[in-house]
Structure 1
Amino acid sequence: MNENLTARVGLSQEFACSYLPNRREQLLVILDPTYYCSEKFESLLAVGFRRSGNQIYRPHCPVCSACNSVRVLAQEFMPSKSQKRKLNKAKTQFTVTYSTSERAGYYPLYSKYITMRHQDGSMYPPQPEQFQSFLFCSWLEITFIELWHQDTLVGVAVTDCMDNAISAIYTFFDPDFEHYSLGSIMILEQLKFAKAQNKQFVYLGYQIDECTKMKYKTQFLPAQKQLNDEWVAI
């Protein structure tokens, strides 16, 4: 942990890794309540931590270091030709809105997404309590970036907002529209939002090179990956 951050931490029990088979996962958890605020959380993001619900954590696995934080340089980002095509295609079908509070339609959309796309994951079957405890936070401002098809909500990107950065917590969308590459579209919208708000970084969570599902995170450039507590260009 960075020498400038002197927070009290705890170590979780080991449990099965959610991403790599036959691996065990362990988490370093922030116990110091003074770090549960926007300013100090942003400092923790810079040393590889992340939020799940109200809890701040980072992987601290005994024999594995596959998880590496990734952040995109928001002010320098320019969409690739492929990303521009996706945006142009989406522009004809969807509109984007922003909210700082939950809408009634969020959980039904989340439930459909988990049920149709992630039956093999730890979040299946979806439950309202799990949805609330995973995505929402009592001590940090959250922006919900919404994608609408006419009057129907089809995508939500749960986005943490700090002074100099945003953090992409989770995106869920209607699988009936997945041919529009909504996962990528929502990251592009988060980057657009960050640039408009003059934020320096968009944190995309952890990149695991061995996990195929994670490779999309390196498609948004320029970006940096944290290796051995140093940020290096991807």
Structure 2
Amino acid sequence: MVATFIVYDELDRCPYLAGHVARLPLRVPARPLTRAEVDAALAAGDRRQGVFLYRPSCPACQACEPIRIPVSDFTPSATHRRTLRAGDARFRLEIGRPVADQQRAALYARHKWGRGLTTSDDHEETTDVETYAAFLVETCCESVEFSLWDGDRLVSVAVADRGERSLSAVYCCFDPDDARFSPGTYTILKQWQHCVAEGIPHLYLGLYVAESAHLSYKANFVPHERRIEGVWTRFERVPDVPAAPRRNDP
């Protein structure tokens, strides 16, 4: 595995659970990762943000669980099939290199405000192109963009990282006005179809947190595997009741 250098390692407010403290050390690879190195990083629980890799290392909580879909075993549910039919009828999917422009930066800001992901009360809050690029377009590996269009209108942008045997969903933002079409779920299903077509065994969905309304939906994709205490564990069914975050002994 390529050497990485820690550039930030401090306790901070948890971005996933209110009132929790998080430790998310940021590491920079010494050089761009190969596809095989992306596979190894994902299997070890790493996520990417811009040019940085990170892995939750919180002192008193293990709520974050990396989650992935075994592509050949997954079968869309009835709800997933309805989402696919509705999305296929309405949207045009384009797959290409990640792009940073004003249209995408504005969509990202609109998504954050509309989904309650910002601490600002200003619904006119904007994101400049440079900030958007640093978060999603600048990368330390091979990345790809999945964009949804309704005619000439940009509906959703999702960026994913490519390994030899993996595709990793990094982030998805969409127009809140189209939330009824479940563009986030629809994009995951299109990424799954892409993996089937490309012969990619694993689709990584990022982190699953049972008590986070923005992350718990990922457990609806079954079967799936979650990395718990360093071991990838398979789940065949959707959890009945969200589990409380597991905490280490003080």
* Distance across 2 between alignment mates of 1:95 and 1:66: 36
* Equivalent residue, structure 2, for 1:182: 183
Deviation at 1:40, TM superposition (A): 1.6
- Aligned residue type for 1:17: C
Distance 1:37 1:21, change over 3 A: same
Q: Deviations over 1:53-94 (max 9, x none)?
A: 000110101111111100001122211011101111222211
Distance 1:94 1:35, change over 3 A: closer
Is 2:127 the counterpart of 1:127? yes
SS at match of 1:127: coil
Residue-pair matches, total: 229
* Equivalent residue, structure 2, for 1:24: 21
Moved more, 213-222 or 47-56: 213-222
Q: Deviations over 1:165-207 (max 9, x none)?
A: 0100011111111111111101111111111111111111111
SS at match of 2:67: strand
* Distance across 1 between alignment mates of 2:109 and 2:189: 23
Q: Does the 8 Å contact 1:157/1:170 carry over to 2?
A: yes
Return the match for 1:100 from 83, 86, 97.
97
Matches of residues 23-102 of structure 1 in structure 2 within 5 Å?
23-31=20-28, 33=30, 36-102=33-99
Is 2:139 the counterpart of 1:141? no
* Distance across 1 between alignment mates of 2:2 and 2:90: 48
* Distance across 2 between alignment mates of 1:113 and 1:39: 33
Deviation at 1:151, TM superposition (A): 2.1
TM-score (norm 2): 0.84
User: Percent identical across equivalent pairs?
Assistant: 28
SS at match of 2:62: coil
Q: Does the 8 Å contact 1:114/1:126 carry over to 2?
A: no
TM-score (norm 1): 0.89
* Distance across 1 between alignment mates of 2:48 and 2:151: 32
Moved more, 130-139 or 222-231: 130-139
Matches of residues 84-233 of structure 1 in structure 2 within 5 Å?
84-102=81-99, 104=101, 105-121=103-119, 125-128=125-128, 129-233=130-234
Provide structure 2 residue ranges, at least 5 long, that are not aligned to the other structure: 236-250
Q: Does the 8 Å contact 2:34/2:163 carry over to 1?
A: no
Q: Does the 8 Å contact 1:7/1:30 carry over to 2?
A: no
Distance 1:151 1:6, change over 3 A: closer
* Distance across 2 between alignment mates of 1:8 and 1:175: 37
- Aligned residue type for 1:114: K
* Equivalent residue, structure 2, for 1:14: 11
Q: Does the 8 Å contact 1:100/1:141 carry over to 2?
A: no
SS at match of 2:155: strand
Provide structure 1 residue ranges, at least 5 long, that are not aligned to the other structure: none
SS at match of 1:59: coil
